[in-house]
Amino acid sequence: MSQRIHRRGFLRRAATGSTMLGLGGLPFLSGLPPVSAAEARLAPGTVPLLPDIEPLVRLLEDTPRERLLEVVGARVRRGLSYQQILVALLLAGVRNIQPRPSVGFKFHAVLAVNSVYQAGLSSADADRWLALFWALDYFKDSQARDVQEGGWRMKPVDEARLPEAPKTQQAFRQAMDTWDEAAADAAMARLARTAGSDQVFELLYRYGARDFRSIGHKAIFVANTQRVLPQVGWRHAEPVLRSLAYALLAHEGDNPARRDAQADRPWRRNRELVVQIPDDWQAGKPSREATVELLVALRQGTEDATCDVAVQLLRRKVAPQSLWDALFCGAAELLLRQPGIVALHAVTTTNALHHAYMTSGDDQTRRLLLLQAAAFLPMFRQAMEGRGRLRETAIDRLEAVPLSGDGSKAVEEVFAEIGRDRQAAAGKTLAYLQGKGSAEDFMETARRLVLLKGDDPHDYKFSVAALEDYYHVSPAWRDRFLAASVVQLRGSEGKDNPLVDRIRAAVQG
């Protein structure tokens, strides 16, 4: 019997209830109409938003957490659209959640907005509301934590400090290079008003990748903002970009421009190292041997040694894709060696740096992003070593574990195994994919399980990044990449998120 099953048939089975992973159908989420906003006043000293979205943002800010889903559900039934909620959610996050002391923790209410959007985009129409309503609830949790830490709110921009339009880019670079928050805020506000998206993000890609503080969240924030702003609309960009510039300047201790911190060293060194890369560096040929060579360096070497290997490979006319294969697989290998929060961020940070690499139009920036990705992975590995022993395992030596069934039965077996033995689940995933099982069907199940059982922003951030990067990895490596990533996905044995029942009640009325 063929191990490949028809996708439509698989999804039909996935919706039948207890017979398939306990997913069940979600008819209560279908047929929801598109949102009108209520009037609201703006508190003094708070950055104003555009009049058409301000009332909805105030609704999210002011409604108690225990009532928000029901209030928004009632408005959805009256016509509130998915996009309006998405816009208001992002703006409420940047206005109310401070990306300090670290660009993470409570700030995931902002960082995860694009992941929530991407998760919904890749899901069935009805399922999209699950991710969005989960994010609404998580915003209220983050808002409460911010209040406990002092109640930060974004202030209006200091209009008197705005640089002259012809000098804005220079002013922004100067402010970022000297870690001057006030000057950077004013310059970013001017950029949002006078420059286009491509110009702005060409500047931001470098600053998102320049230091290892916040274990990659700076690069993640840049990439996720670049991806979600087209859905939100550039006219809403100014407060979002101001939040981003502020986040990129987060640091500990004295001004980083005046000291030699470990987090900054790879960037400073790589800015000099890129000149050793030949001008035709993107014209090389794929090489499995080169991928393995860089994997070994990632496994054993320092950040400097790994970047040196990357440059040597490019000088030997190896295609950049072969290096990215090593970076993606090296990040996923860390999950096999020590599943958890640090290895998870190795994957999501590599995803963010690769997105910037693919989107940037500047050759020097692309070189730097590639080398920073090569530097960050050994730094993630070192951070993991400080948390405990790493398994002696390698992604290129991962062995397939036999499955008792094929097709949909094999998918059921893998996701049931995640809750019992994640390493075995990785081996069974490899067996399924090598046996010509459908990666699309496999990932569809993974997405639905996140929607139903995910209770943390990392469930969304990680699953979106890993499932997307399956297609960024060369075919010869992608099955191993996905198999390793399985250890951080949601299994079918866990409890459903109780918010699912609240959303059911909210949208049914």
Q: Are residues 307 and 236 located together in one domain of the fold?
A: no
Query: Does some domain include residue 450?
Result: no
Residues 6 or more apart whose Cβ sits within 8 Å of residue 188: 172, 241, 242, 244, 245
Q: What pLDDT is recorded for position 128?
A: 79
If asked whether residues 352 and 297 sit together in one domain, one would say yes
In a domain, 220, yes or no: yes
Residues near 454 by beta carbon (within 8 Å), at least 6 away in sequence: 134, 460, 463, 490, 497
**Residue that terminates a domain, selected from 209, 235, 256:** 256
pLDDT at position 3 over 90: no
| pLDDT of 61 strictly over 80 | yes
The answer on 293 and 245 residing in a single domain is no
Structure tokens at 358: 């693919």
Domain interval for residue 220: 159-256
- Give tens-digit pLDDT for 157-198: 999 999 998 999 999 999 999 999 999 999 999 999 999 999
211, part of any domain:
yes
Residues 284/314, Cβ–Cβ less than 8 Å: yes
Specify whether 377 is located in the same domain as 355: yes
Q: Are 181 and 305 within one domain?
A: no
| Torsion of Cα atoms, 288 then 394 then 460 then 47, to 10° | -80
Residue 99 inside a domain? The answer is no
CA atoms of 372 and 266, how far apart (whole Å): 7
Number of domains in the chain: 2
Distance CA 508, CA 363 (A): 52
Taking Cα atoms as reference points, which of 220, 162, 151, 212 lies closest to residue 186?
A: 162
Please report the pLDDT score of residue 26 as a whole number.
47
Q: At what angle do helices 82-96 and 128-148 cross, to 10 degrees?
A: 20
What pLDDT score was predicted for residue 290? Answer: 98
Q: Tell whether 119 is covered by a domain.
A: no
In the chain, the amino acid numbered 60 is: L
**Pair 362, 287 in one domain:** yes
Q: How far apart are CA 101 and CA 107, in angstroms?
A: 10
Q: Give the separation between CA 138 and CA 136, rounded to whole angstroms.
A: 5
pLDDT digits over 245-268, tens only? 999 999 999 999 999 999 999 999
What's the CA gap between 281 and 363, in Å, rounded?
10
Whether residue 229 sits in one domain with residue 287: no
Q: Quote helix, strand, coil % in the chain, to nearest 5.
A: 70, 0, 30
Residue 447 has pLDDT above 90, yes or no: yes
Q: Kindly tell me if the per-residue pLDDT of 38 is higher than 70.
A: no
Residues 214, 300: one domain?
A: no
Does residue 233 belong to any structural domain of this protein? Answer: yes
Looking at 253-287, list the stretches that DSSP marks H as alpha helix, in order from N- to C-terminal side: 265-273
Of 348, 365, 395, the one marking the end of a domain is 395
C-beta separation of 329 from 396 below 8 A: yes
As a whole number, the mean pLDDT across the chain is: 92
Q: In the predicted model, what is the mean pLDDT of residues 100-121?
A: 94
Q: Does one domain contain both 326 and 247?
A: no
pLDDT confidence of 31, banded at 50, 70, 90?
A: very low
Residues 208 and 322 in one domain: no
Q: Same domain for 250 and 266?
A: no
Number of helices followed by number of strands (H, E) in the chain:
24, 0
430 with 84: CB under 8 angstroms? no
Residue 44: the pLDDT is: 72
Strand, helix or coil for residue 285: strand
Identify the pLDDT of residue 42.
57
Residue 273 falls inside a structural domain: yes
Which of the listed residues 225, 256, 287 is the one where a domain comes to its end?
256
How far CA 122 is from CA of 20, 185, 467, in Å, comes to 20, 35, 10
